[in-house]
Amino acid sequence: MNKIPLSIVILAKNEEKRIPDCLKSVLGWAEEVIVIDDDSTDKTRDVALGMGVRVLRKKMNIEGEHRNWAYSRAGHKWVFSLDADERMTEELKREIGETLATPHEFGAFTVPRRNFIGGYWIRGGGLYPSPQLKLFKKDKFKWEEVEVHPRAFLEGECGHLKNDLIHYTYRDWQDFLNKLNKQTTLEARKWFKLSLENPKKARYKMNVLHALWRTMDRFVRTFFAKKGYRDGFTGFMVAYFAGLYQIVSYAKYRELAKKG
């Protein structure tokens, strides 16, 4: 099979156990595969090099900035951004090959993702199809250079692919909580920085009543409006953690504000 003119850019940190399956899903299909290693302390780099891919090492400080730097290293104009916990399906690879071989005006494409906790595919709570902007022309697309939840900036129209990308989002509930802890810390830092730049907006957005409202609202929307209840107890926990994210972020923000 002829390889398609596409760069796969994989961001990884301490992923020696999961990166082999990630790489296997794209090797022999795309012309270029690059692993951006975020100062791993395990054998992530050795595993990737042993599988014959290019490895670049760079510590992530600001997510958006890190991603933009990584994509700028791609040798092809079309880039697919893949994480070490994601897997390309054969159906999606065929669709991408056909899409890139067909004339179109799109500068990027979203891809639906199947998100998993352990071996369980979460279908409710807004986690499926959960389209993500993954395929793009590198000169038409940039991420906002902020630490958490960067916005996507695209020149031109965005298309939508139909076949799924597999995403092993969380290994287990402990992994879910570990990531929640990290993300809420980044969220709190973002709001603390805003409080220094725009105190009025920070006071309006980050106060106990607003935080409690967002906590309840996020749970209700995730479990009921987005049909998280279809996933039973797992769906309840996903909705509970979605609400918990809001109040924990606020608690950490208060702590930062008190410390100054």
Say which CATH number the domain at 64 has. 3.90.550.10
Rounded to an integer, the average pLDDT of 26-40 is 98
Helix ranges (DSSP H) in the chain = 19-24, 44-50, 63-72, 90-100, 173-197, 199-205, 208-220, 232-259
Residues 232-259 pLDDT 10s: 999 999 999 999 999 999 999 999 999 9
Whether pTM > 0.75 for this model: the answer is yes
Rounded to an integer, the average pLDDT of 184-199 is 94
Rounded to an integer, the average pLDDT of 177-182 is 97
- To the nearest whole number, what is the mean pLDDT of the chain? 96
Among candidate residues 110, 82, 65, the one with its CA nearest the CA of residue 15 = 82
pLDDT at 188: 96
On whether the CB atoms of residues 198 and 223 are closer than 8 A, the answer is: no
Sheet of 165-170: strand order equals: 86-88, 165-170, 113-117, 120-121
Residue 177 shares a structural domain with residue 239: yes
- Taking 80 as the threshold, does the pLDDT of residue 36 lie above it? yes
pLDDT at 165: 98
Residue 241 shares a structural domain with residue 164: no
Strand-pairing partners, residue 82, are 10
Rounded to an integer, the average pLDDT of 17-25 is 98
Rounded to an integer, the average pLDDT of 159-177 is 98
pLDDT band for position 179 (cuts 50, 70, 90) = very high
pLDDT at 2: 87
Residue 160 shares a structural domain with residue 216: no
Residue 111 shares a structural domain with residue 209: no
- Residue that terminates a domain, selected from 127, 147, 170: 170
Residue 106 shares a structural domain with residue 28: yes
DSSP state of 119: T
Q: 165-170 and 113-117 as β-strands: parallel, antiparallel, unpaired? A: parallel
Residue 209 shares a structural domain with residue 129: no
- Choice between 148 and 150, residue whose per-residue pLDDT is larger: 150
Q: Which domain holds residue 227?
A: 173-259
- Taking 90 as the threshold, does the pLDDT of residue 32 lie above it? yes
- Residue that terminates a domain, selected from 147, 170, 193: 170
Rounded to an integer, the average pLDDT of 34-42 is 98
Residue 62 shares a structural domain with residue 125: yes
Residue 252 shares a structural domain with residue 137: no
Residues 200-242 pLDDT 10s: 988 888 999 999 999 999 999 999 999 999 999 999 999 999 9
pLDDT at 1: 64
